[in-house]
């Protein structure tokens, strides 16, 4: 371990934040490595099976709460957060945040008419449309964060000399949210995400494990009070208690991590959410302060700008791989993508069945016919889960 040197500047954390802001990070903090307070809750959550099919969660077990076991000699963890909200009002390929060289760190979306949230809710409730979680509409955050964290770690070397470090961003057994709260990035919301008074929860987290005894930044206080909006709005009631999410019911888990067919009892509640779910964030009052991303990487891809279910269903595997290159979506593969879209198509058919007159549906009076014809094209798909979801989807339409 490298102990503090009298030659280090007293404002070393402030310097880290200056460098971090220039790299697009919203805030840099420093946490200690004693996470023993979080270990019992982690083990209980795993024991209850709340991690679902994420075997890697159980495999690493307590290592998540023991940074020094993951990276020997670690004594501090530098934490970073980066706002990722694209300007939904501007559409694909637009980056409106102030340039970094001008000190731009995002703008208050409230000033843009508040309501990126209203736009997202509308997308989620538009018949025949597909909803992709806001964070996944641009470039893969792993790629964006990792390179910039590496640059930050290298810059620190110019100040203190050689030291040991390792960079992480949602890619290893790390209790990211706990480290973030310990270092003052925010507090844990009842949905288990980290909340910040100036940015809501629309940001990514990353860490640099170091063997340098940097000054620790202080945690902040909880500002959720008695609010339970996130718990109340969850379509599948996955937030089973304050600060506790059962992944087996969570739409984000079901559409991204879960293999095979999705529990039929949960399919209807998934609506048109085909990759991830933002409900608990959209309803959170603190997200009226969400900040637009200061880097262009998270701008919405054209292929994911207000897509319809029929458009996405038409992607063959080659098209899927091409249009999701460099995106976090690509990792789920084409079959899981089709499974998710088929589920949403079934829910659209169920909604169409409930309408008094199909001819009154704006935009496509033949939407039900189009959906069923498209689904039928994959009725013999080689993947069993896709076939099952196609069959289920077709059964959701009941013509009056």
Point out the residues that are catalytic: 170
Q: What is the rounded CA–CA span in Å between residue 276 and residue 134? A: 9
Q: In 3-state terms, what secondary structure has residue 308?
A: strand
Look at residue 358 and give its three-state secondary structure.
helix
CA nearest to 78, candidates 119, 33, 37: 33
Question: In terms of Cα–Cα distance, which of 299, 167, 298, 190 is closest to 243?
Answer: 190
Count of other CB atoms within 10 angstroms of residue 28? 25
Backbone angle region of 203, left / alpha / beta, with phi > 0 → left and psi within -120 to 50 → alpha: beta
Are 156 and 16 in contact by the 8 Å Cβ rule? The answer is yes
Return the SS3 of 85: strand
| DSSP secondary structure letters along 36-55 | GGGHHHHHHHHHTTTTTT-H
Report the DSSP pairing between strands 273-275 and 131-132. Answer: parallel
Give residues with Cβ within 8 angstroms of 171, minimum separation 6: 142, 146
């Amino acid at each position: 371990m490298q102990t503090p040197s009298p030659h280090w500047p007293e404002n070393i954390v402030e310097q880290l934040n200056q460098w971090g802001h220039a790299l697009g990070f919203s805030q840099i903090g420093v946490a200690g490595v004693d996470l023993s307070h979080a270990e019992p809750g982690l083990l209980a959550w795993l024991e209850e099976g709340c991690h679902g099919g994420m075997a890697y969660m159980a495999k690493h077990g307590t290592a998540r709460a023991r940074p020094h076991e993951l990276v020997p000699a670690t004594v501090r963890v530098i934490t970073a957060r980066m706002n990722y909200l694209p300007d939904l009002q501007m559409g694909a390929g637009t980056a409106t945040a102030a340039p970094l060289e001008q000190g731009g760190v995002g703008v208050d979306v409230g000033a843009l008419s508040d309501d990126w949230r209203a736009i997202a809710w509308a997308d989620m409730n538009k018949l025949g449309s597909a909803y992709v979680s806001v964070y996944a509409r641009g470039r893969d955050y792993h790629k964006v964060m990792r390179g910039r964290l590496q640059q930050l770690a290298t810059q620190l070397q110019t100040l203190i000399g050689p030291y040991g470090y390792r960079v992480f961003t949602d890619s290893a057994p790390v209790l990211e949210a706990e480290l973030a709260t310990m270092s003052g990035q925010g507090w844990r919301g009842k949905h288990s995400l980290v909340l910040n008074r100036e940015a809501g929860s629309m940001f990514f987290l990353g860490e640099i494990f170091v063997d340098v005894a940097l000054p620790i930044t202080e945690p902040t206080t909880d500002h959720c009070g008695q609010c339970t909006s996130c718990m109340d709005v969850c379509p599948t009631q996955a937030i089973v208690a304050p600060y506790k999410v059962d992944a087996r019911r969570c739409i984000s888990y079901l559409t991204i991590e879960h293999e095979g067919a999705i529990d039929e009892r949960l399919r209807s509640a998934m609506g048109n959410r085909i990759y991830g779910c933002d409900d608990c964030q959209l309803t959170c009052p603190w997200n009226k302060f969400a900040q637009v991303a200061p880097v262009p990487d998270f701008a919405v891809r054209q292929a994911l700008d207000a897509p319809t279910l029929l458009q996405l269903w038409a992607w063959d595997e080659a098209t899927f791989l091409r249009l999701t290159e460099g995106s976090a979506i690509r990792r789920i593969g084409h079959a899981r993508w089709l499974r998710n879209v088929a589920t949403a198509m079934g829910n659209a058919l169920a909604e169409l069945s409930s309408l008094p007159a199909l001819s009154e549906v704006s935009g496509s009076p033949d939407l039900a016919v189009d959906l069923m014809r498209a689904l039928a094209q994959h009725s013999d798909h080689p993947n069993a889960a896709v076939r099952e979801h196609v069959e289920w989807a077709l059964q959701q339409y009941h013509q009056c």
